[in-house]
Structure 1
Amino acid sequence: MTMNQNREQSGKNKRMKDLPAPTPSAQFDMFTAFYGDPKKHSNTIELWDAIPKYSCSARKQIALRDKDGRLPIWEREFIYKPYNSDEQIPATMQIKPALIKVDGTERSFLPSVNEELIEEVLRKLFADQKHGRHYADQEQSFVEFSLAMIARELRMRGHSRSLEQIKLSLMIMNECRLLLFFHGNNKKAAYRGAIIPEAIEVSRAEYLADPKSRWRVTLPFVYSRAINNLQFRQFNYEILMSMSSQLARWLHKLLARRYTNASLTQPYSIRYSTIKRDSALLVHSREDRNRETVRDALEELRAQDVLLFYKVSKSAADGRDPLYELTPTGVFVAEVKAANKRQLDYESRLLEGNRPAPFAAGSLPE
């Protein structure tokens, strides 16, 4: 269903206040309750945030468009590491571009940094139970908002976008098509869906008639499955949204997901090749420029009190695949300890027999 179709049907669809009350969910209660200041925290979602969905920059898209304004399918390979597991699952992501009419001309768009930031805001709003609904038994999740709410939040975080830019980004997320393939152990399964599978938008006429009118979007199935199975972790949303570098934000969420034993005496080690493969954000033709991008991102993590310092291993510093050793600050260590305690406290309250199946390569819907 396209955004235009949703708009035509918006008067016929129920808004959030008209939806039936969901059955209470201990998992969703955990998703919405943070250890620490709730205004500063959000959740990183294990599988969803491992997918390099926003890796094709606007500049790259300009270079890739043909004379008719069309883009090719964007494909990237990465490694998915499930939480609390040593397993490494090779995966391939493909994104079919959204075809949207802008100023009377149809053009292709791939999700990029604008969509990344707006999704973070939607996720934060979703964690506020005034705006989010989660139906655990149906594995469905919704969030309700206005464009002005998103605009205010982005402006407050230093990422101002106009209402038209926000609307375009929502259309891109609704009309692009994400395909995910897992490989290995003779398993191969596919997930297909949009970043925003369905949307009910508010027309200008509806807004003028009722300024309290709200958009409502369905969140991806991956969200709902992750919530039901506790495959998420809290992290510092305030710090993330203060960063200007997309790679710094990617590294910050990676550390929040994987560096669960964060310590001043146990640095986190990561290869340049791993950053390049799994982020898909290092696309310069010259590797020295890509390594400068990594350095700048690490410097921003230092400036934001995530890293105390970092070093490049001497054995690989002048090679083609440097090893970065990242030492966290006490602030980041405290954040990780809070996330660990939150996870353990809630897991202990849930009966193992009531836990849904994890998101494994063989259990993805097609």
Structure 2
Amino acid sequence: MTDYSEKKKSAQIKSAKILRQKPNIEDYSKSKPVQLELFELVHPSEKDYSNTIELYDFIPKYVWGRVERIQEKFLEPIERDFECRQQSYRVRISPARIKDSDGVSRDYFPGKREELVEDALRKIATAGQGVFLDNEAGVTFTLYQLQQELKRTGHSYSIKQIKEALMVCVGTNLQLTDVSGHDVLVSSIFDTIGLQTREDWEGQGEKTKAFVRFNALVTISIRNRTFRQFNYEISMGYQNVISRQLHKRMSHHFTQATFSQPFTIRLSTVIRNFGLTTYTKLSHNLRDVEVALKEMVEKTVLLKYELEKIMDTKRRNKIADVRLLLFPHPNFVSEVVAANKKQKEAKELA
């Protein structure tokens, strides 16, 4: 059998280096460029909102559901194809190696918990705690503050679980390539994490200041003003991961939203671009997506939806795909109009 411990050695060395190198925020050059100020949403009318990030937010980097480990420890990297703005990409997701409470190191992919932690940290950044550290976008916070923000939005995690999520984010490696196979990005979900001392990290550290430097694509999006405002409160309130992914996608790309013009996407595209499991029967995937769409109707993001079945031309009565017609709710349309105005102002001011 393959020696997986040797296979992971270089990744472990890299993670250890990240944690040792500049563990204190004082070691970094701090700045707040005008683009970061434009990224902030500090007006009282903007308290429910955060920002989506061009390309980065649409990489299917999260793994939903249970995974089977090799030797109860190891996970093979996952490769996924997806599209963003009619461009094809492939991402290779290499799991993080985390030492569990029983002393055994195991591989972990980022999942729902890590997505929520990242979204909460980005919200904290938009609320005025964002900072550029050595010219890379980051955020300062305390573990207690992060825990309370997650709890406020309906997601209760212990300090230990939050630390684990941070470690998974900094230890997960993403290799993004374009259609020609050239690297677009090789990076972790979080470039760097840090607490003031190792003792703070190993202890509770609820009130200890921490910092994260986000993925490089977040910095690029902030600098280029390609981020877009979306309703963070609704997104964090979803029970269904498909609802959250679809809401972010619509908020970022459906810039011409009107009551009469639906957002159209195929079921096969949702499965591929969101990193969902492809079931033997397409109807099972459709069932899961319909649950998400009903939740979006309940949240007044969608007014209604329609399904157009695309039949297999070679096999009678077999569904080849389904076209989803998503009609936006007036509330969502209003938010898109506001986001368009905000983005236009940001580009003009910068």
Structure 2 unaligned blocks of 5 or more: 1-12, 312-316
Aligned-partner residue type, residue 96 of structure 1: S
Counterpart residue number, 2:261: 266
Match among 277, 281, 284 for residue 289 of structure 1: 284
Structure 1 unaligned blocks of 5 or more: 82-87, 351-366
Give the Cα separation in 1 of the matches to 2:204 and 2:266.
55
Counterpart residue number, 1:362: none
Counterpart residue number, 1:330: 330
Counterpart residue number, 2:120: 121
Give the Cα separation in 1 of the matches to 2:90 and 2:263.
25
**C-alpha deviation, 1:37, in angstroms:** 2.3
Match among 136, 139, 142 for residue 138 of structure 2: 142
Counterpart residue number, 1:188: 182
**C-alpha deviation, 1:201, in angstroms:** 2.6
Match among 27, 45, 54 for residue 53 of structure 2: 45
- Superimposed CA distance per residue, residues 90-109 of structure 1 (whole angstroms, 9 cap, x where no aligned partner): 10001111111112111111
Match among 69, 72, 78 for residue 73 of structure 2: 69
Give the Cα separation in 1 of the matches to 2:287 and 2:205.
50
Give the Cα separation in 2 of the matches to 1:146 and 1:132.
13
Counterpart residue number, 1:158: 154
- 1:307 equivalent to 2:311? Answer no
Q: For residues 1-366 of structure 1, what are the structure 2 equivalents within 5 Å?
A: 13-15=23-25, 20-22=29-31, 25-33=33-41, 37-54=45-62, 56-59=63-66, 61=67, 63=68, 65-81=69-85, 88-102=86-100, 103-129=102-128, 131-134=129-132, 139-184=135-180, 188-202=182-196, 205-206=199-200, 212-313=207-308, 319-350=319-350
Quick one: structure 1 residues 256 and 176, their matched pair in 2 at CA, closer, same or farther if it must change by over 3 Å?
A: same
- Superimposed CA distance per residue, residues 252-283 of structure 1 (whole angstroms, 9 cap, x where no aligned partner): 00100111011101111111111111111244
Paired residue secondary structure (1:66): coil
Quick one: structure 1 residues 289 and 203, their matched pair in 2 at CA, closer, same or farther if it must change by over 3 Å?
A: farther
Quick one: structure 1 residues 196 and 315, their matched pair in 2 at CA, closer, same or farther if it must change by over 3 Å?
A: closer
Higher mean C-alpha deviation, range 38-47 or range 193-202: 193-202
Quick one: structure 1 residues 157 and 149, their matched pair in 2 at CA, closer, same or farther if it must change by over 3 Å?
A: same
Contact 1:34 1:234 in 2 (8 A): no
Contact 1:139 1:225 in 2 (8 A): no
Counterpart residue number, 2:4: none
Contact 1:34 1:342 in 2 (8 A): no
Paired residue secondary structure (1:239): helix
**C-alpha deviation, 1:2, in angstroms:** 6.1
Contact 1:52 1:278 in 2 (8 A): yes
- Superimposed CA distance per residue, residues 63-103 of structure 1 (whole angstroms, 9 cap, x where no aligned partner): 2x11241000011000121xxxxxx1110001111111112
- Superimposed CA distance per residue, residues 27-57 of structure 1 (whole angstroms, 9 cap, x where no aligned partner): 2121103687232000000111110011x22
Give the Cα separation in 2 of the matches to 1:285 and 1:34.
47
**C-alpha deviation, 1:229, in angstroms:** 0.5
Give the Cα separation in 2 of the matches to 1:3 and 1:253.
30
Contact 1:91 1:182 in 2 (8 A): yes
Contact 1:177 1:195 in 2 (8 A): yes
Give the Cα separation in 1 of the matches to 2:205 and 2:119.
27
**C-alpha deviation, 1:296, in angstroms:** 0.4
> How big is the alpha-carbon RMSD for the aligned residues of Structure 1 and Structure 2?
2.5
Contact 1:7 1:203 in 2 (8 A): no
Give the Cα separation in 2 of the matches to 1:335 and 1:34.
17
Contact 1:3 1:199 in 2 (8 A): no
Give the Cα separation in 2 of the matches to 1:34 and 1:294.
34
Contact 2:59 2:91 in 1 (8 A): yes
- Superimposed CA distance per residue, residues 285-331 of structure 1 (whole angstroms, 9 cap, x where no aligned partner): 43221110110010010011100000012666972211111111110
**C-alpha deviation, 1:200, in angstroms:** 1.1
**C-alpha deviation, 1:156, in angstroms:** 1.3
Aligned-partner residue type, residue 121 of structure 2: L
Contact 1:7 1:202 in 2 (8 A): no
